[in-house]
A and B are shown apart, each in its own frame.
Chain A
């Protein structure tokens, strides 16, 4: 419990399925969207749920939103401060692209993604992330 860790990863499609608290982050997406210039998909910290949990957002160029909830114990140093998450988001987006590129994948955005491989990949990303770990590309 000494280091912050990712406690939740959510991919939000266009057709909106969101867990209750993640729902609220969409307001932040929509309010910050006009300010975003081209190519900048990192939304930084969206919302601090409480002392120990903060939500970070990422918007892909196809409108899919990735929200990562980072849970850090009190006094752990404020969740990594922005740089650490970019790697996670890139990794997640790569995984998602891999999923969507699968011709057999039926992209029904109203249902949760059930691909086992993708879920395993997401789990791996979440488990291996550490605040300092900066993904190389």
Chain B
């Protein structure tokens, strides 16, 4: 690294130019230079002294402790050659040529090149060539040898070299230099005098080059801005050149001689200083200063004093014991500043220690001496400026001041510890940081010192000089923390640099033949341009300088991406209090805070200067950075034209950089809110799957009714406080391998078009293959762009934003900021202002105490805007089905009521995944109305049952599936045409190819990947059916159903079907009539009984005719075609058909069909009417008050009807076509009378006359012909069909037939009974019967009737049964049925009266 050129000890450095020789690569050269610079300090004791006597002037043996500090530069300063005699350190003493041994190293060429170098730099004392990475023998070549000092030196490679080898090399170079310096010094000593740098004699030879403005024409220093300086200058203006007078009067030539001697002595002293002989230098300086003072040579006097100060610092640094010499301060009459009045008579006498306590020559003492010394130097220089030609050059003056300011700064940094400060000044040793600053010396003093170097006006200096001075001032101000003052200076620096650079470009462009006004764009074409920068040429420090400048004015460089990421992983050890604020939110807020800081106009101004500088450099990246920063900080303040211009600057710069082939020139996009929203777009084709729980995966048998299962879970509670609310938004699901579309909203609040090169979704979790999109957003609007992405895995995916590349900008992640920034949410208390606001904010950790205590009561406010994240679930690849075709034309069909039709639907699997779960569900137009009717509260339970039955059991659509479990299915009888089940349920169509028996645990593929499958749907003609939909839920589970983990996903295909239902057979009327057995069915019976006979012949029973009743049915054909009607009847449910009736009905005709129905016995006809849907209502408040008796009747009607419907089935068939269907028989309604007809009582009584040969003849089941005056026996058979024992009382009631009631019972002389007519019987066990016999004699002929009744005696029953306690709630918690307890007295009458026809003669005959 280069040394600080404004260091206090710069005048003590030995300047050497390092330049390349022969072919050498830039990187190799710079690495060699670095190696050399690392060993730039040479101790004199290590240097071999020159043996020649005449060259021993600077022999290192004179001061072995001394050091030579090499200033190894790679540039030569020709501009200040005229200063070289005045300031020796500016001189280039040595030229070190660096050659690379790896490249071609022909000795002849190298010698020639070195000679050329010698002629190029004739003023250098010694030219040497270092051959790097060379073996030692490389320089032993004959041609490389020289008689004098070695001209070529070999440097081993870095690996081979020892620790000291570089140092030894430097010593080897130093030794010849020192001996050559002797000669040089001799030549100076030989000169009578030395000219001042600005004297006309000196200027003329040096002024060959055009030096712009380098010298003030007025000869005097322009006044400096410091007030105190002004005063001093004014007071100084009073005395002219005649103030000296110390030297006594002598002739002008003598004066000139003495003056010249003094100057030579000062120059020699400088050489001593450079050569490291510090004590000699002190001596020479002091003597020279004395002479200069005597001859009023203020300029050289000041230079000598300056040299003394440097010598003292060096001596203090070396740590050698030395005495501070008496410093020949200038004698100024009336001067308040000089403390010590020097005695001219004894110039070299050491003065006693100035500082109390400190030993002489200690660093502390030196440091305290220096300000005084400096003040004198400055005064001397100012005084010198009054003489024309003798004034101090501006650059020297400023550098002197700055060197001193730097020294003070070092002292300030080391907290006043002089030793540390001096070490820092000499070697740049880092200063150990020790606690807070003591502000000693005061910052204000340093600042005032530094500002004295500020050129007023700047134009008096060349750009190079001004740059050096201003940057030096800025550096000092920066170190002491005066950032704004520093910014002030830096801004001035930038201001003067821009025209300088443009000037350079104009010159360069003119040389390259390009019009300079072509600006930046011209550079892209000009490869020969001197400003055509290589990659390594770009000065990295410029950006930092400018950023520092901007920061002072409140323009913060872009937030670094790294700073947030580490913030994110901050452990929340302090507990739950840590509110998760997104880093992006923080970024946005901090940027907003920065924006409010500073004065916008000033910021814009500064940024424009920075932009101009970067354009002048040209630094493409810098131009972009500052342009974007300007857009970022002041988008609202800029005019439309300005914004457009900035945007063109961006695109132009990027274009120019690309043309040049400079990679990585990209801006940072300026709007944090570019991305406003991301939404998932639902695709109509790729309908997203629906998630289900595992519990919804029913076994296949229940799959017939999936809709009810997929509905919300059933609960008796309308409101359940413990139920988890499912109010959260519907889960968004993506399918692996299927592209999903996202709608991305971008905004452009600027006045120019924003060209978005690519928008890519940024997702975490599952690998999401995002397809980039690009768009141009017109000015001042938002734009929605579609972005597609395909997930390549399964799981959860979070989309937190997009990676967006705007043209010319870096690809960057943008969070989704849907909300804006609410200024009210922000901290209203300004705690940091001024420069501190620009510093990065330090998050204070919450202390445990406050976190656990009060702090927890008030959580920190949620900061806005909160970035949105889109959470999606990616599921396994799911199949996609489409309806390929159906067997329906235009998806419509016509059915008759009760008809079942089957149609095919073919589904095609478009995906490469099998469908192994397929559920059909259907909706139709009837369900809605039924559900509406169900919702009404006034329904009776029977009505509700009926509606529910229609809803659940009689579905309009069903999946007509082949039998899955033939083995386990209910053993259905062989499919005979008369089988009821065949009529009701089983398909008539031939079976389709059977799917092999599948277990639940086996996986079944319904539709293979990219295959097809046909399914059959059965439609049942129901009144009110107009349309319906077939909904297929399908999925790919990938495993058997029992292995499915918690969730699975289905998709749907919906296919609408239009259905027309026409009426077919209508049930017009139904009646039941009792079937009396009071006629004889014999072969000789009258012809009128023939139909009955036929009727019962079919049944095949004649004995049990009393168990039958007749059912009359009026059926009407509402279809315009004749229909054949067939009704089948069985005696009991699930029994073979016992009776069949058939008829052909013409269109519009009504026919009555008579059916013998076996009377029905029901054990409990008063049971509660069940509910099919099992949707138990919590409370059913009967709206209509019905009596218990009515309830009993309705229940009876319900249960007998149900029983009847189980036995009867009807179907119709269109003649000539294959149309068949069922007759809807549920229209049957039973009245109480019908029920009475239909039912079989629980306890029955049958009366008969015991067969007695010759006396009794049975002509019909209940008609007997008996003889009079014979003892006969009347049997009363009581049967108990209930499930409980019954204690009956039997009553017989004989009467005369066909007589009015009073006469009918007057049987005293006509009929004699043995015993009583009314008697109790024994307890009758359930299911048994008892026969009670009563003897009687008919006394008179005639017709008699005997009726009987049975009454249950409660007393007996109660003894055996436990008393039924009336409870309101049964064991299952349901309210007890109102009919639970048995009703009051129960009495049964015999169904058929026994008819006795008494004749006098025996009937048997």
Is A102 interfacial (CB-CB < 8 Å)? no
- Most chain B CB atoms below 10 A, which of A20, A49, A63: A20
Is B488 interfacial (CB-CB < 8 Å)? yes
In the complex where A14-B830, A27-B482, A27-B485 touch, is A48 in contact with B225 (Cβ < 8 A)? yes
Q: List 24 A-B contacts (CB under 8 A).
A: A14-B834, A15-B596, A15-B597, A16-B554, A16-B834, A16-B837, A17-B599, A19-B599, A19-B602, A20-B488, A20-B602, A23-B487, A23-B552, A24-B482, A24-B488, A26-B835, A27-B483, A28-B444, A30-B834, A31-B482, A48-B225, A48-B227, A54-B227, A110-B596
Name A21-64 residues within 8 Å CB distance of B.
21, 23-24, 26-28, 30-32, 45, 48-51, 54, 63
- Chain A residues within 8 Å of B1121, by CB: none
Q: Are A15 and B444 in contact (CB under 8 A)?
A: no
How many whole Å from B450's CB to the nearest CB in chain A?
Answer: 12
- Most chain A CB atoms below 10 A, which of B225, B487, B835: B225
Name B1183-1214 residues within 8 Å CB distance of A.
none
- Chain A residues within 8 Å of B223, by CB: 51
Is B1287 interfacial (CB-CB < 8 Å)? no
Question: Which of B444, B456, B485, B602 contacts A50, CB < 8 Å?
Answer: B456
How many whole Å from B1325's CB to the nearest CB in chain A?
Answer: 104
Name B477-497 residues within 8 Å CB distance of A.
481-485, 487-488, 491
- Chain B residues within 8 Å of A84, by CB: none
- Most chain A CB atoms below 10 A, which of B225, B483, B596, B599: B599
How many whole Å from B460's CB to the nearest CB in chain A?
Answer: 14
Task: Fill in one digit per residue for B498-512: 1 if any A CB lies within 8 Å of its CB, else 0.
Answer: 000000000000000
How many whole Å from B1242's CB to the nearest CB in chain A?
Answer: 97
Query: B interface, by DSSP: helix, strand, loop or mixed?
Result: helix
Is B598 interfacial (CB-CB < 8 Å)? yes
Is B86 interfacial (CB-CB < 8 Å)? no
Question: Which of B230, B481, B485, B554 contacts A24, CB < 8 Å?
Answer: B485
- Chain A residues within 8 Å of B834, by CB: 14, 16, 26, 30
How many whole Å from A44's CB to the nearest CB in chain B?
Answer: 12
List the 7 closest A-B pairs by CB distance, nearest first: A17-B599, A27-B482, A14-B833, A24-B485, A24-B488, A48-B227, A27-B485
Q: Are B485 and A51 in contact (CB under 8 A)?
A: no
Docked pose: A16 CA to B836 CA in angstroms? 11
In the complex where A31-B482, A48-B225, A48-B226 touch, is A16 in contact with B833 (Cβ < 8 A)? yes
Q: Are B596 and A49 in contact (CB under 8 A)?
A: no
Docked pose: A20 CA to B625 CA in angstroms? 22
Task: Fill in one digit per residue for A75-89: 1 if any B CB lies within 8 Å of its CB, else 0.
Answer: 000100000000000
Name B582-600 residues within 8 Å CB distance of A.
596-599
Q: Are A15 and B830 in contact (CB under 8 A)?
A: yes
Question: Which of B230, B443, B456, B488 contacts A23, CB < 8 Å?
Answer: B488
- Chain B residues within 8 Å of A15, by CB: 596-597, 830, 833, 837
- Chain A residues within 8 Å of B491, by CB: 20
Question: Which of B230, B447, B602 contacts A18, CB < 8 Å?
Answer: B602
Docked pose: A110 CA to B830 CA in angstroms? 12
Docked pose: A14 CA to B596 CA in angstroms? 11
Docked pose: A133 CA to B699 CA in angstroms? 104
* Minimal Cβ-Cβ distance residue in B for A65: B834
- Most chain A CB atoms below 10 A, which of B225, B227, B444, B834: B834
How many whole Å from B1397's CB to the nearest CB in chain A?
Answer: 124
Name B53-112 residues within 8 Å CB distance of A.
none
- Chain B residues within 8 Å of A20, by CB: 488, 491, 602, 605
Task: Fill in one digit per residue for A6-19: 1 if any B CB lies within 8 Å of its CB, else 0.
Answer: 00000000111111
Contacts A17-B602, A24-B482, A30-B834 supplied; 7 other A-B pairs, CB < 8 Å = A14-B830, A14-B833, A15-B833, A16-B834, A31-B481, A31-B482, A51-B223
Docked pose: A54 CA to B487 CA in angstroms? 19
* Minimal Cβ-Cβ distance residue in A for B231: A78
Q: Are B456 and A31 in contact (CB under 8 A)?
A: no
Docked pose: A32 CA to B445 CA in angstroms? 12
Is B553 interfacial (CB-CB < 8 Å)? yes
* Minimal Cβ-Cβ distance residue in A for B223: A51
Docked pose: A16 CA to B603 CA in angstroms? 12
How many whole Å from A53's CB to the nearest CB in chain B?
Answer: 9
Docked pose: A78 CA to B227 CA in angstroms? 9
In the complex where A14-B833, A24-B485 touch, is A51 in contact with B443 (Cβ < 8 A)? no
Docked pose: A110 CA to B601 CA in angstroms? 11
- Chain B residues within 8 Å of A23, by CB: 484, 487-488, 552-553, 602
Docked pose: A20 CA to B444 CA in angstroms? 20
How many whole Å from A69's CB to the nearest CB in chain B?
Answer: 14
Q: Are B227 and A27 in contact (CB under 8 A)?
A: no
How many whole Å from B686's CB to the nearest CB in chain A?
Answer: 52
Docked pose: A49 CA to B484 CA in angstroms? 14
Chain A residues with a Cβ closer than 8 Å to the other chain, count: 26
Docked pose: A126 CA to B497 CA in angstroms? 37
Q: Are B443 and A31 in contact (CB under 8 A)?
A: yes
Docked pose: A110 CA to B456 CA in angstroms? 33
Q: Are A16 and B225 in contact (CB under 8 A)?
A: no
- Chain B residues within 8 Å of A110, by CB: 596-597
- Chain A residues within 8 Å of B227, by CB: 45, 48, 54, 78
Docked pose: A27 CA to B443 CA in angstroms? 10
- Chain B residues within 8 Å of A14, by CB: 830, 833-834
Docked pose: A50 CA to B230 CA in angstroms? 10
- Chain B residues within 8 Å of A28, by CB: 444
Docked pose: A19 CA to B223 CA in angstroms? 25
How many whole Å from A1's CB to the nearest CB in chain B?
Answer: 18
Name B225-257 residues within 8 Å CB distance of A.
225-227, 230
Q: Are B443 and A16 in contact (CB under 8 A)?
A: no
Task: Fill in one digit per residue for A103-114: 1 if any B CB lies within 8 Å of its CB, else 0.
Answer: 000000110000
Task: Fill in one digit per residue for B426-452: 1 if any A CB lies within 8 Å of its CB, else 0.
Answer: 000000000000000001100100000
Task: Fill in one digit per residue for B458-488: 1 if any A CB lies within 8 Å of its CB, else 0.
Answer: 0000000000000000000000011111011
How many whole Å from B596's CB to the nearest CB in chain A?
Answer: 5
- Chain B residues within 8 Å of A19, by CB: 599, 602
Q: Are B602 and A26 in contact (CB under 8 A)?
A: no
Q: Are B484 and A26 in contact (CB under 8 A)?
A: yes
Docked pose: A15 CA to B829 CA in angstroms? 11
How many whole Å from A6's CB to the nearest CB in chain B?
Answer: 18
How many whole Å from A78's CB to the nearest CB in chain B?
Answer: 7
In the complex where A24-B488, A28-B444, A31-B444 touch, is A18 in contact with B599 (Cβ < 8 A)? yes
How many whole Å from A25's CB to the nearest CB in chain B?
Answer: 8
Q: Are B484 and A24 in contact (CB under 8 A)?
A: yes
Task: Fill in one digit per residue for B819-834: 1 if any A CB lies within 8 Å of its CB, else 0.
Answer: 0000000000010011
Docked pose: A17 CA to B637 CA in angstroms? 15
- Chain B residues within 8 Å of A17, by CB: 598-599, 602
- Chain A residues within 8 Å of B837, by CB: 15-16
Task: Fill in one digit per residue for B737-766: 1 if any A CB lies within 8 Å of its CB, else 0.
Answer: 000000000000000000000000000000
Docked pose: A54 CA to B225 CA in angstroms? 10
Docked pose: A26 CA to B553 CA in angstroms? 12
How many whole Å from A57's CB to the nearest CB in chain B?
Answer: 13
In the complex where A18-B599, A18-B602 touch, is A27 in contact with B833 (Cβ < 8 A)? no
Docked pose: A20 CA to B554 CA in angstroms? 12
In the complex where A15-B597, A16-B599, A27-B485 touch, is A51 in contact with B444 (Cβ < 8 A)? no
Docked pose: A109 CA to B554 CA in angstroms? 15
How many whole Å from B962's CB to the nearest CB in chain A?
Answer: 81
Docked pose: A23 CA to B834 CA in angstroms? 10
Q: Are A16 and B482 in contact (CB under 8 A)?
A: no
* Minimal Cβ-Cβ distance residue in A for B489: A24
* Minimal Cβ-Cβ distance residue in B for A26: B484
Docked pose: A28 CA to B448 CA in angstroms? 11
- Chain A residues within 8 Å of B482, by CB: 24, 27, 31
Docked pose: A48 CA to B452 CA in angstroms? 11
- Most chain B CB atoms below 10 A, which of A14, A23, A51: A23
* Minimal Cβ-Cβ distance residue in B for A32: B444
Docked pose: A30 CA to B443 CA in angstroms? 11
Docked pose: A78 CA to B599 CA in angstroms? 31
